[in-house]
Chains A and B, each alone.
Chain A
Amino acid sequence: MNAPLPVPPIWTTGTTEGIHTGTWRAATPRHLFAPSPCHQACPVNGEIATWIGQARNNDFHGAWQTLMRHNPFPAIAGRICHHPCESACNRAEYDAALSICRLERFIGDAALDAGWMPQAAASAAAGRVAIVGGGPAGLSAAYQLRRIGYAVTLYEGSDALGGVMRHGIPAYRLSRRVLDGEIARIVALGVDVRLNHPVQGEQAFAGIVAAHDAVFVALGAQQPKRLPALAGDHDWALDGARYLAACSRGTPPALGARVLVIGGGSAAIDVARSARRQGHEVTLLALEQRAQMPAQPEEVVEALEEGITLVNGAMLRVAREKAPGGDSRLALECVRVRFEPGSERGRFTLTEIEGSAFEIAVDAVVTAIGQDPRLDDLGVGLRREGALLWTATAGATSDGKVWAGGDLASMARFVTEAVGMGKRAALAIDRSLRERGLGASGPALVLDDDGDEPVVPLSAISQHYHPRRARVESPRRGAAERIADEGEVQLGLELAQALAETTRCFSCGTCINCDHCVIYCPDLAIERVGLGYTVNTDYCKGCGVCVRECPTGSMAMSEDSK
């Protein structure tokens, strides 16, 4: 008979941790950072999910600092930006887009109230940069370049900085206090500002180029387009930009009782509403149907609240001055049209509708149908593209020392687009100056390192964790009140409202450290390490629950190759 073997335990003596179930896996999850659709759509590529997250955690200073990395004008943008981020927001398909613009305003206003200041670079860089034009593009470039440490000289033709933000956007949309405050912050970084210093003509421009190591040109589009029907010099026909500039200086021209404003964009709306505040009866005539108008939908709503009459899909054929003593100065013969937008803004097809002619009786006509740059101010040395200055990536012009941005070089006629162009040009200038040995001693500013992950779609968001909720109401003052005192129309959010809205953000692709991946892993294979997460490949079976339960789309599976 065999000797008996030692008695085996029928009680357990260890744990299953010795069994590496990771060998079962065909795909492995990873924790990632991916761009959110708002970030991609944002003209300044702001880190929206990040700053909203900071605000959600009551770190408003941190949120402001994140905003300021890409855009020195959060309080301004929070009032007037056309917010493509909101159109792109994943939440728009789900219940309603996040009120990103108003949240940015809240943080921008908090910063102004608290007097928070941005930091200039610790050490100076060798290069000297000229900024031509003190509008949003120029100021944005000046801000970024001062942050890096370059000596910046800013040449502004008028007596005040701000460009279209000051002369084109009325105070009831953007208070002067806010405008001045955010501009002053940039100047305080040490920008050498030369007001009343227009740069016009080849020689003047060449002189500036020679005197600096790099130049950023952002002269804007100063030449208004004219309607053929209003050709000639009439005191009853004005250009919209001039009208707004006069209003902003406090000297609006007298136009008679009834005014027709022609145009479908924000500028036309601004003209119309400014005219209302001067007591005029205002009609707005736009080629586009209401939904096609380039103006922001909220602006149209506000304009209608203020008693402006909107006539869509029509154009002016002939303007006739009537005999004096009549009920109106002008008889305007108009006709209805079908407006078909072209491949880019500014291009379209119009078809007159047979037998649809009608007449409007007004006392003055103000046109706001767009502007073109005065390219001759720069001489003929730089390559052009149609009515615009030609630029390549990040605003590089045909001259290796010159970059350009804003309305001068682009048909994207939005303030924040200009800010984005100024930022990208500044970074390109920095790279160029470093290559020439004129750069700062510290590391380059890295602002748009998006990584290789694709934009997070709605399908990557675990919707269970986001019950449907209404978007925060953006309050505005009553029409009669706001016309009377010309103060800001939009009221801004209260703290509780702002915080509540921040909790609606999906934080697409930006992890919020909710730890769901850790909590729901059936194999306890995900560990939190600081603010990141590691997958324990010894045990992960590749089930994908972590990806499913991530409420921000910050986990993704990759197939394993063996």
Chain B
Amino acid sequence: MNTEARTLLLTGNHAVAWAARLARPKVVPVYPITPQTPVLEKITEFQAAGEFDAEVLTPESEHSVMSACIPASLAGVRVFTATASQGLLLMHELLHYAAGARAPIVMANVNRTVASPWAFWPDHTDSLAQRDTGWIQYYVESPQEALDTVLQAYRVAEQVLVPAMVNLDAFYVSHSLEPVSVPAQALADAYLPPFAPRQRLDTASPSSWGNVISQDMFFRHRQAIEQSMAEVPELAAQADRAWAELTGRSHGVVERYRCDGAQTVVVTMGSMAGTARDAIDAMREAGQAVGLVKLRLFRPLPVHALRAALAGARDVIVLDRNHSPGIGGVLHQELRAALYGMDGAPRIHGCLAGVGGVNVPPEHVARFVGEVLQTEPQPESHWVR
């Protein structure tokens, strides 16, 4: 076991695999799907080399994967899995189930376009379509952030007993290679206390889970879930700060980039944030008062942090790499709801940019900003290319 941090050249997928290894889960059910496969390949490689002590099982579908995760977690064991796109969708029933069970599973999801028709390109529709399932959702922009976020996700999830998914863009993050600082096992152990829930499946105190409940119990159970969700933004911020103390790296919950004095703020998630940073730099160089807010924690939506981050901006331009038919860009619509009624609320414009994996280079971002600022804000999202 390493006692020092190492820098390795890793893809996002492999960074996720390393994070999973460091988190010491005991049960890892997993099913391959492009472009997630290198995650499970790396994990099984670790296991074959004797470097990863966990029960890795390969059921016949993602539905069965998540079905296996939940009772394993309820038995009091830390669980990890990873999937993408169709696999995530196939798990949909179980995502609700896991959240209702209060099982703090952490799952990495590689954001890939959703069929039909078939495609393999980066798009957030897959995970955003799960936004009502009760999972915490993070969106990361780099392999390093992917590794760091998986570990932070465990810390938060296990504090509130809410499952968490860490989303990384297909290919842009999952397959791009960069130097990643891989912390020492001892650091990860110090950061993540052992998972030991008091209430679990245990023959020593034979309590059961899953019996039919009454309407009133259901109502109160949902209230309890909401209460726990409400604690997450603060816990996520704390987890990030604690991580910064140990590693020097902080990613925040809502990151403000060159927003001071910005009249226009671009808001986005995932790898697009990285592209947008370059665009912001270029526009600032050109004298435009433009900033970027990167939303890292999408669920629960950190409404107060967003309002604070966007206060003072005149125009907010949301770049959505996703599409919800009938309502447009998901982040656009959520942000409109989040800022509604805010004193001095900025005008919100939504751009459907990069839907289907269409490439969005920095120049395009700058162009979109220019074009959009010439229009009045509309409730509908604009298709931009």
Contacts and interface: CB of A to CB of B under 8 A. Distances in A.
B223 A4 contact: yes
A327 B370 CA distance: 151
B217 A12 contact: no
B374 interface: no
A11 B211 CA distance: 8
Contact of A5 (B100, B101, B211, B223): B223
Among A4, A10, A13, the most chain B Cβ lie within 10 Å of the Cβ of: A10
A7 interface: yes
B6 interface: no
Contacts of B221: 7-8, 10
Nearest to A13: B207
Contact of B208 (A5, A6, A8, A11): A11
Contacts of B100: 10
B89 to A, nearest CB: 26
Interface in A1-19: 4-8, 10-13
A44 B211 CA distance: 61
A7 B208 contact: no
Contacts of A8: 213, 217, 220-221, 224
Contacts of B102: 10
Contact of A12 (B101, B207, B220, B223): B207
A11 B223 contact: no
Contacts of B118: none
Interface string B213-232: 10001001101100100000
Q: How large is the interface on B (under 10, 10 to 19, 20 to 34, 35 or more residues)?
A: 10 to 19
Interface residues of A, number: 9
Interface string B188-211: 000000000001000000011101
B199 A11 contact: yes
Contacts of B224: 4, 7-8
Interface in A391-411: none
A533 B254 CA distance: 71
B209 A11 contact: yes
Nearest to A10: B221
Given A4-B223, A4-B224, A12 B208 contact: yes
A13 B208 CA distance: 8
A15 to B, nearest CB: 10
A8 B101 CA distance: 13
A6 B177 CA distance: 49
A12 B227 contact: no
Nearest to B205: A11
Given A10-B213, A11-B199, A5 B207 contact: no
A11 B221 CA distance: 12
B221 to A, nearest CB: 6
Interface of A: 4-8, 10-13
5 contacts: A5-B223, A8-B213, A10-B100, A11-B209, A12-B211
Given A5-B223, A11-B199, 12 more contacts: A5-B220, A7-B221, A8-B217, A8-B220, A10-B101, A10-B102, A10-B209, A10-B217, A11-B207, A12-B208, A12-B209, A13-B207
